[in-house]
Chain A
Amino acid sequence: MTRFMMVLAAAAWGSTATAQTDRLITLPEPESPFIAFNIWVQVGSQNDPEGKEGLASLTANLLSDGSTTTLDYQTILARLYPMAAGYGANVDKEMTVFTGRVHRDNLDEYYGLFRDALLHPAFREEDFNRVKTQTLAFLERSRRYSRDEELSKDVLFWAAYRGTRYQHPSEGYVESVRDITLDDVRAFYTKHYLRNGLVVAVGGGYPTGFPAKVRGEFDALPQGAVARVPAPEPAMPDGIKVIIVEKPADAAPISIGAPTPVLRGGPDYWAMVAAASWFGEHRNSFSRLYQVIREARGMNYGDYAYIEAFPRGYTTQQPPVNIARRSHLFEIWIRPISRTSPTDLHDRTLFATRAALREFNALVRNGMTADAVEATKRFLHNYSVKYGSTISRRLAYAVDDAFYRLPAPGYLASLRPGIGALDRQQVNAAIGRQLQTDNLWLVFVTSDAEGLKQKLLSGAPTPITYAGEKPASLLAEDIEIAAYPIPVDASDITIIPVDEIFERR
């Protein structure tokens, strides 16, 4: 597919050598009726001060959902409304992006609103209170109760990055957000929204000269760049470490993971993309885990694996963008395992856990077969086209390329040749270097946490039954799965009541 992708230049992360005119990314597609924006501010939740976790996120949300010095918030909403357009912010560990898309009929009026939201925020008390209240409602209620599988992922990342700047969720803790004041937000903006720490990315059917104009206007920000935060160095868990979040539930999600040094641009990267795709392509029946746990056994809705963070995976089938990080986990996501009788929830939860660990062990020990490598290459050759299906996504990938300092032609254009060049030996060598099974975090969200703990400690097999007939080969494999060892003792298992999760540091 022809893509008119041209990255004029991109800021090297934290570099002071980057010239002012280099902080612009353009993706011209002259025939498109849409124009997409991606304003990347080089600050993230890792820059939150201690005790004010959530400040980067609250600041960005106040900019995108607040008044400007010239227009109040309600007027901004009224002007955006007839264009069916809007803009929003997303804050991750290392980056903040403001994104928007508009039909070219409406470009001038839209851009003025978008620009002023970032450059001329009013920081009104009433806007701040509204946004802070919304954040607290999410932290106290939605995050803990509305979707257990997302909670289990959040807890996995919190555990794996304890003691680092990646530890806290970007939205913060309940207590830390309560302590954030409007003055904190103003000070954070002043300190971190700086000319040299901001990259403007524009794509689509914009008029000649438009990106340079945008960049010029964002150069009104004060000179300077954000001080570089050292990359996190998460400690590998010493053996299997278990966290059980306790809450009333009839189904239990499971998250498994550990730090991995795999990064975009690294020598093993494409091999690990292929390995993770075969082992657990996101929300796709191509996933080996899916075949074992869902397709053959009907235990849940899906089972996947990742080499890069994939928040809110339940909302989308496409990989996330602008979650660029200098450290990632290898992660397995087992969607909630349902009970089928009043007493079999823990047995089924542990059976699925054992099935996943057993498959993971086989991957690390045996690698992939030549057939599996070839099937993965065929699959990804076309499947990956959807990653850059829209102008907004192509632009976001270009921003991520700048973060990872990927050389031209960038991630999307390198994916097919990168995957296409792999052979079995390369893939299995990379698996051997990058993955291990001895040291893992295991997170469950379930009821009767003590019961699950005791079942884990007992080491007893956890067999399951089926509503229908199963082949003898599968039942024979089940006996092995049900007894697959999870070596833990009592000191390895921590139980946390749901109402204490993310309450404070």
Chain B
Amino acid sequence: MKILATIAALCLVGGTAATQQRERVFPFEYQTVRLDNGFTAYLIKAGAPGQIAYYSIVRTGSRDEVEEGKSGFAHFFEHMMFRGTEKYPNYDAITSAMGADRNGFTSSDMTVYYLVTASEYLEQLIDLEADRFQNLRYSEPDFRTEAGAVLGEKMQSIMSPFNYLYERLSELAFDKHTYRHTTIGFERDVRAMPEGYEYSKSFYRRFYRPENVVLVLVGDFDHAEAERLLRAHYGSWQPGYVTPDIPVEPPQQGERRETITYPGRTLPTLTLNYKAPAWSATDRSAVALEVLGDLAFGSTSPLYQQLVIDERIVQGLGGFFELQRDPALATVYAAVLEEANVPRVEQLIAETIAAAKTQLPDAQRLADTKRARRYGFLMGLETAGSVASATISFVVNTGGIEAIDDYYTTLEALTPEDIRDAARRYLMNEAKTVMTMMQATGGDQ
């Protein structure tokens, strides 16, 4: 707990910094270890005494699934990473004996493996993790069995209205880029996974390489000893990362529009989606676009007040403008209570976007949004695991955590003009995709 005390003091500095001064938002001391093979580790002192969080971040996700019929494979491969090696054939038993909280997760841009456990296991963990990233081994029958578990994972959330909408929206909005498919993958591809054993081995060879993996190790441990162990266990890992040939999405020429039917009951859901730029810590227009999502459609926006609070014709409204490693979508979302109101809600959203291109946002609300984002980051820094989690998106987008302070420096410098210019630049009607989801039995109850 002692280490966390620095957060409060540094936060105050962050709140008053001049626009030219580099923000110091990330409050913890850290050390960077870079090996000759390209492997990078960040060693961070934070969290409770006696605990460590070991986060291996692979900068590969469903974005890297360029081959036809292989959607969902990065996630499937995450499952295989728990199947053991020649040296340690039973990964589960070893980590269970440590009482480790361990798991993995995959998204479009990343695959992350984590363990949180007692500091006394540091040496064993480094040995175990370095081994599975270099020497993973599994049989084809085991591979086929695990494919069944992945199908189960796909099916347990297949009726989530969000998932149902998002899978179809991605396919409509993208022509070439792999953001066209979701991380869990199309059901047809998931059902075909048992046949992909050879492909899985090539996946490991191409992407599980030291240049593509970053370790964020947070907690209570001796940094010099950790560095020595990391060099000893990861130093012999052979480089060989093969950069995937991810198709570039061509500029969208003209609006796209589709209404889909959800095979159950859900509120009519309207989404307006614009082609956004890639994430950047230093590009003011990119950061400004993220802020615009909160300003225009967040819970303190005038439109939220009108539709959710005053008129109560919308149950949920939001602007999800968080950017990704490659250009993705900036999405405005509205769950509308009655189907008849969908056209009017769309009209009001469109008017809000048009106004954002011509009018400057309120300076106080912009200041509040900057503060909310900074405190949102700080509020997440409570445990070793949550500190490691807070660094993930920065590692995925840039390969390191140095961009945290760059990002908040850019954020602090934003002006109302930056917000307006971002709206003009990115929220273009000719690159808009409108998808509406209705329920089969009609939207009104």
Known: A248-B263, A385-B99, A468-B141. A149 touches B156 (CB 8 A): yes
- B444 CB, min distance to chain A CBs, angstroms: 11
Alpha-carbon gap, A286 to B103, bound state (A)? 12
Known: A81-B300, A133-B315. A145 touches B375 (CB 8 A): no
Closest 7 interchain pairs by CB? A298-B148, A382-B99, A468-B144, A145-B264, A300-B152, A251-B155, A84-B375
B96–A338 contact, CB under 8 A?
no
B310 CB contacts on chain A under 8 angstroms: 126
A386 CB contacts on chain B under 8 angstroms: 101, 116
B140–A338 contact, CB under 8 A?
no
Known: A33-B4, A145-B266, A285-B82. A78 touches B300 (CB 8 A): yes
Supply 9 further A-B pairs (C-beta < 8 A) apart from A105-B8, A297-B148, A466-B144: A34-B382, A145-B161, A145-B266, A248-B264, A295-B145, A298-B148, A335-B156, A338-B155, A340-B148
A375–B376 contact, CB under 8 A?
no
B368–A81 contact, CB under 8 A?
yes
B368 CB contacts on chain A under 8 angstroms: 78, 81-82
Report which of A145, A314, A317 forms a contact with B156, defined as CB distance below 8 A.
Answer: A314
A250–B148 contact, CB under 8 A?
no
Q: Does A197 contact B (CB under 8 A)?
A: no
B99 CB contacts on chain A under 8 angstroms: 378-385
Q: Does A140 contact B (CB under 8 A)?
A: yes
Q: Does B371 contact A (CB under 8 A)?
A: yes
- B279 CB, min distance to chain A CBs, angstroms: 20
| Chain A to chain B contacts (Cβ below 8 Å), 29 pairs | A1-B50, A33-B7, A81-B299, A81-B368, A82-B367, A82-B372, A84-B372, A84-B374, A85-B379, A105-B11, A133-B312, A141-B265, A148-B156, A248-B264, A251-B152, A285-B92, A295-B149, A297-B148, A298-B145, A299-B149, A300-B148, A336-B152, A338-B154, A375-B96, A385-B51, A391-B382, A466-B148, A468-B144, A470-B141
Q: Does A74 contact B (CB under 8 A)?
A: yes
Alpha-carbon gap, A386 to B375, bound state (A)? 24
A382–B156 contact, CB under 8 A?
no
Between A73, A247, A298, A335, the greatest number of chain B beta carbons within 10 A of the residue's beta carbon is seen for: A298
Q: Does B242 contact A (CB under 8 A)?
A: no
Q: Does B160 contact A (CB under 8 A)?
A: yes
B48–A1 contact, CB under 8 A?
yes
A101 CB contacts on chain B under 8 angstroms: 379
Alpha-carbon gap, A82 to B372, bound state (A)? 4
Q: Does B49 contact A (CB under 8 A)?
A: yes
Report which of B12, B118, B140, B372 forms a contact with A382, defined as CB distance below 8 A.
Answer: B118
Alpha-carbon gap, A359 to B99, bound state (A)? 24
Q: Does A17 contact B (CB under 8 A)?
A: no
Known: A380-B99, A383-B100. A337 touches B4 (CB 8 A): no
Q: Does B153 contact A (CB under 8 A)?
A: yes
Report which of B48, B305, B379 forms a contact with A34, defined as CB distance below 8 A.
Answer: B379
B340 CB contacts on chain A under 8 angstroms: none
A82–B375 contact, CB under 8 A?
yes
Known: A82-B372, A82-B375, A149-B156. A383 touches B101 (CB 8 A): yes
A1–B103 contact, CB under 8 A?
no
Q: Does B146 contact A (CB under 8 A)?
A: yes
B300–A298 contact, CB under 8 A?
no
A184 CB contacts on chain B under 8 angstroms: none
Known: A85-B375, A468-B145. A2 touches B266 (CB 8 A): no
A251–B147 contact, CB under 8 A?
no
Number of residues on chain A facing chain B (CB within 8 A): 80
Alpha-carbon gap, A466 to B149, bound state (A)? 12
A317–B103 contact, CB under 8 A?
yes
Q: Does A134 contact B (CB under 8 A)?
A: yes
B51 CB contacts on chain A under 8 angstroms: 1, 385
In the complex formed, the residue of B with least CB distance to A339 is: B155
- B190 CB, min distance to chain A CBs, angstroms: 9
Mark interface residues in B252-296 (1 if CB within 8 Å of A CB, else 0): 000000000001111100000000000000000000000000000
Alpha-carbon gap, A83 to B367, bound state (A)? 12
A84–B157 contact, CB under 8 A?
no
A77 CB contacts on chain B under 8 angstroms: 299-300
Alpha-carbon gap, A426 to B153, bound state (A)? 37
A142 CB contacts on chain B under 8 angstroms: 161, 266
- A150 CB, min distance to chain B CBs, angstroms: 10
B11–A146 contact, CB under 8 A?
no
Alpha-carbon gap, A320 to B101, bound state (A)? 16
A103–B97 contact, CB under 8 A?
no
A84–B315 contact, CB under 8 A?
no
In the complex formed, the residue of A with least CB distance to B299 is: A77
Q: Does B327 contact A (CB under 8 A)?
A: no
A103–B375 contact, CB under 8 A?
yes
Q: Does A130 contact B (CB under 8 A)?
A: yes
Q: Does A301 contact B (CB under 8 A)?
A: yes
A223 CB contacts on chain B under 8 angstroms: none
Interface residues of B in 363-421 (CB under 8 A from A): 367-369, 371-376, 378-379, 382-383, 385-386
Q: Does B355 contact A (CB under 8 A)?
A: no
In the complex formed, the residue of A with least CB distance to B148 is: A298
Q: Does A144 contact B (CB under 8 A)?
A: yes
- A398 CB, min distance to chain B CBs, angstroms: 17
